[in-house]
Structure 1
Amino acid sequence: MLPRKKTKIVATLGPACSTKEIIKQMIESGVNVFRINFSHADYFDIEDKVKIIRELNDEFHYNTSILADLQGPKLRVGVMKDEVVLKKGDIITFSTKEEFLGTAQKVYMTYKSFPQDVNPGESILLDDGKLIFTVLDTDGVEEVRAVVVQGGPLRSKKGVNLPNTKVSLPALTEKDIKDALFAIKLSVDWIALSFVRTEEDLEDLRLLIEEHSAHKIPIIAKIEKPEAVANINKIVSHCDGLMVARGDLGVEIPAQEVPLIQKQLVHKAKYARIPVIIATQMMETMITSLTPTRAEVNDVANSVMDGADAVMLSGETSVGNYPVQVIEKMTQIINSVENSELIKLPVNDPKIKTKRFITKSICYHAAIMANSIEAKVINTLTNSGYTAFQISAWRPNAHILAYTSNKHMLTQLSLLWGVTAFWYDKYESTDVTIEDINQIAKDNNYVIEGDYTINLASMPLNEKGMVNTIRVSEIE
């Protein structure tokens, strides 16, 4: 039986988990979602991994989800000629003219609009902020001169962050469009967009999905820019999920500000009733060690207690030595804290009377009632997944079981806190259906005789409309 936890684990695919056996062990240890990192991925390799995951889903009735993570406008320097070490006070020129081997005096910058976008006095950060420069001047065409503020080794193809600069590059680059079309063709469950700054950044990707996908693929906005934090209210109303991408966020924003921003973003996601993933360096030491640090254990635990739907692993599972053991350890941490009474999320009840107000209100009261009568399960019949999103955000003590005849929903819902999906395609009378789904909950050991379940449905069932019915059952 798969681990029964409510907080989900996202694991990044890579060379360390390239076999069917390892991927199966990772799922059995607690992985709910596999992430494809398009910054490093090869199409042939992606197809192979997706095929393996889907074969395992079919063979063992797993609902493991697939998240495609687009690279976004990642800025980099070029290849260095020799080993370069920069000292404080050195002057260096960044050139966009044509690719060349870099030296301590001059380095190639992949970002062509850099000389037009940057201004004197702004900061340039390289290699996750290990090197810091201040812009002296720009010719506005192809060269920018900067002074070294914090030196160190300057290595080939390292990432560049511009925290003070208004970058003119679109969030969806030509590479992202190509990668997104490939991901859509593979019918992935979620697509994440990197370096989102405004709600407009998300619209291009949504239009691309609508044009090329037969079904809706929800979009996750990765929050890693100061502009995104400033525009968060508009962003949450235009995306289907958030990722707190603490790597670049901790470079673009002072690192000491990230913990409170993490909490703020989780609260925003819960108010919007969309899932939120906490990512980057969660169990970094376990890339090479079998034991995480106490600080890492605390980080994972605190992310769970903040109210994250999912916690994410990157290098730990993609290139680490212990891809299965890191999942086991993370599952242990989640299980030890997620049911604590110390976790109190400030989630509001629905007040704005939209066309979905009745459904929202029913879901809210189902969560409240489940806690009040100590129901073990909230059962919901869903075609779009909407009710599962709603109930999950209110964090009931009960497990949320979603029953659907929509194949894409089975795996898509695996990202949501507390939600487990089951295939169900019989829509007879309400009485028969509720009897059926209660039996499925019982067969899967979610309930025993004498337990209460709360059942949500839309009547008449065969119309598959919005939820309008709530019923309490006692298991016999």
Structure 2
Amino acid sequence: MHRQTKIIATLGPAVASPDRIAALVQAGMDAARINFSHGDHESNGRLIGWVRDAAAAAGRPVAVIQDIQGPKIRVGVFPAGEVSLERGAEVELFNDAWEGGPGRIPIGYEGLGRDVKPGHRVILADGLIELEVTDSDGERLKAVVTTPGILSDHKGVSFPDSVLATSNVTPKDEADLEFGRRLGVDYVAASFVRTRGDVEAVKALAGDVPVISKIELARALENLDEIISASAGVMVARGDLGVQMPLERLPLIQRDILDRANAQGRLTVTATEMLESMTHSPRPTRAEVTDVAIAVMSGTDAVMLSGETAVGAYPVETVATMARICRTVEEGTLPGAGPVPFVADENDVASAVAQAAAQVARNVGARYIVAFTETGSTARLISKYRPERRIYAFSPSESTRNRMALYWGVTPHPFDRRGSTDEEMSEAAKLLEGEGVVSTGEVVVMVAGVPPNVKASTNLVKVHRIGEPSGQLGR
């Protein structure tokens, strides 16, 4: 059964074999996320190869997302491997990637004493522990524990109140991006993005690979529109974002990010702890099911699984469960129901044509919209308006088809473009009829460009009845 919302599954030790990845694809995985914070080029390269093999065997494209580490700041190590931080205790923070001790916490950031000021918060261990800085001598900080806990080696650190002078692309990221380009990844997910400049820095090294910006810092929210504009898409990374912002605000922030990105026609991904309990349980909680449903009803392009599939005990079952939730919610309510608002894009003609296609399909009762695209932009624009119709996107480019696998409602289809626009429409109709997708006499809406095979030329919407000859639309 068709599903409009796409599913991203993170790969890891739990699925690190050809058979397991093939099972994820069969269960409904539309994109595989590979976290380059873990593994090496050899092991991650194997994962990419197995995804390509599984997609080919399944006869459908599956996108590969390379998630780069970015400037992750961590604590060093402790003699006993961990330290207990009691409420009200005073601690010293200093720049060192190595050993701390009682009352002394090493943090691997050179600008610690310069950028972090008295009154600023220091968040440790993914939000479990919180400190407040009370004094600074320009090199070392004094802080008091406001939220106690056990801090172990190499845990992450964030500074929600501080402006850090970190480069968004590390030497490791540069090497990983070059590796990803060579292997032909379909997307790069950029971590800890703060400004448009951070996005541009990643894009300069990613080449032609589209960049998805992870919104996980408070500062990113201050620059949200410019980050969205510079990106191919955004990910609502609720883990780090939930550490930076009050948890009760997270649902409102999530919806705002999705709405703004959808308005600009950008890809949207909702991530983190969506079915977290399935890491250890074969069934999700009721709250998790509702969480996924809310993301679907909010119009997200994709929902993402992280530890559930990377290290969980039930990775395949988790993907299948998420697929069932998405389908069931879509059958009950779709975000495209009702009038579709028009928001102009860079190419106003193509955007207007895409909106018209969604509206015409609704008006004439067409079940399918067929788009012809070289780069995927036509399919992306139609998808933006969230029609309650399946979008078949015909493209001769394998990389374009892989990327379109992540677009809401889009089914990529291989196509050898040749001849006139009229001939291409007739050929596509025959292919769909031959595959049993459509029947003779059925109406479909087709979107194309005249002349054909010219990028950024989308200018035509046609209501086509299967089995009837097309008119002469030019060569």
Q: What TM bracket, shorter-length normalisation?
A: over 0.9
Is the 2:270–2:302 contact (alpha carbons within 8 Å) kept by the matching residues of 1? yes
| Range moving further from structure 2, 266-275 or 169-178 | 169-178
Deviation at 1:166?
A: 0.7
Question: Which residue is 2:216 aligned to?
Answer: 224
Is 1:182 paired with 2:179? yes
AA matched with 2:361: A
Deviation at 1:150?
A: 1.2
Question: Which residue is 1:429 aligned to?
Answer: 420
Counterpart of 2:109 (choices 108, 111, 117) is 111
AA matched with 1:32: D
Question: Which residue is 2:87 aligned to?
Answer: 88
Deviation at 1:432?
A: 2.2
Is the 2:356–2:461 contact (alpha carbons within 8 Å) kept by the matching residues of 1? no
Hey, what's the Cα distance between the residues in 2 that align with 1:100 and 1:53?
A: 38
Structure 2, unaligned runs of 5 or more = 468-475
Counterpart of 1:20 (choices 10, 14, 18) is 18
Is 1:457 paired with 2:454? no
SS at match of 2:30: strand
Deviations 1:216-272 (A, max 9, x none): 211101001111111111111111101000000000001111100100011011110
* 1:432-443 correspondence runs (5 A): 432-443=423-434
Is 1:145 paired with 2:142? yes
| Range moving further from structure 2, 452-461 or 259-268 | 452-461
Question: Which residue is 1:198 aligned to?
Answer: 195
Rate the CA distance shift 1:444–1:257 in 2: closer, same or farther, 3 A: farther
SS at match of 2:162: coil
Is the 1:347–1:393 contact (alpha carbons within 8 Å) kept by the matching residues of 2? no
Deviation at 1:462?
A: 4.0
AA matched with 1:89: G
Is 1:284 paired with 2:276? yes
Rate the CA distance shift 1:347–1:156 in 2: closer, same or farther, 3 A: farther
Hey, what's the Cα distance between the residues in 2 that align with 1:286 and 1:331?
A: 14
Deviation at 1:344?
A: 5.2
SS at match of 1:468: strand
Q: How many pairs does the alignment contain?
A: 465
Rate the CA distance shift 1:150–1:350 in 2: closer, same or farther, 3 A: closer
Rate the CA distance shift 1:57–1:106 in 2: closer, same or farther, 3 A: same
Deviation at 1:73?
A: 1.4
Deviation at 1:137?
A: 1.4
Hey, what's the Cα distance between the residues in 2 that align with 1:326 and 1:127?
A: 26
Q: Percent same amino acid at aligned positions?
A: 36
Is 1:33 paired with 2:31? yes
AA matched with 1:319: V
Question: Which residue is 2:471 aligned to?
Answer: none
Hey, what's the Cα distance between the residues in 2 that align with 1:99 and 1:433?
A: 60
Hey, what's the Cα distance between the residues in 2 that align with 1:347 and 1:244?
A: 24
Deviation at 1:104?
A: 2.8
* 1:222-301 correspondence runs (5 A): 222-301=214-293
Question: Which residue is 1:324 aligned to?
Answer: 316
AA matched with 1:92: V
Rate the CA distance shift 1:139–1:417 in 2: closer, same or farther, 3 A: same
Deviation at 1:465?
A: 4.9
AA matched with 1:466: S
Question: Which residue is 1:348 aligned to?
Answer: 341
SS at match of 1:58: helix
Is the 2:75–2:97 contact (alpha carbons within 8 Å) kept by the matching residues of 1? no
Hey, what's the Cα distance between the residues in 2 that align with 1:80 and 1:64?
A: 43
AA matched with 1:364: Q
Question: Which residue is 2:205 aligned to?
Answer: 208
Rate the CA distance shift 1:296–1:147 in 2: closer, same or farther, 3 A: same
Deviation at 1:449?
A: 3.0
Deviation at 1:302?
A: 0.7
Counterpart of 1:335 (choices 327, 336, 339) is 327
Question: Which residue is 1:213 aligned to?
Answer: none
Return the TM-score normalized by structure 1.
0.94
Question: Which residue is 2:304 aligned to?
Answer: 312
Is the 1:86–1:104 contact (alpha carbons within 8 Å) kept by the matching residues of 2? no
AA matched with 1:442: E
Hey, what's the Cα distance between the residues in 2 that align with 1:439 and 1:385?
A: 22
Is 1:154 paired with 2:146? no
Deviations 1:50-105 (A, max 9, x none): 11111223333220110011111111101121142111111111121x44322231
Hey, what's the Cα distance between the residues in 2 that align with 1:225 and 1:113?
A: 18
AA matched with 2:120: E
Hey, what's the Cα distance between the residues in 1 that align with 2:311 and 2:446?
A: 43
Is the 1:374–1:398 contact (alpha carbons within 8 Å) kept by the matching residues of 2? no
Hey, what's the Cα distance between the residues in 1 that align with 2:363 and 2:400?
A: 29
Question: Which residue is 2:472 aligned to?
Answer: none
Is the 2:374–2:453 contact (alpha carbons within 8 Å) kept by the matching residues of 1? no
Give RMSD over aligned pairs.
Answer: 1.6
Hey, what's the Cα distance between the residues in 2 that align with 1:426 and 1:149?
A: 63
AA matched with 1:156: D
Is 1:413 paired with 2:404? yes
AA matched with 2:387: P
SS at match of 1:470: strand
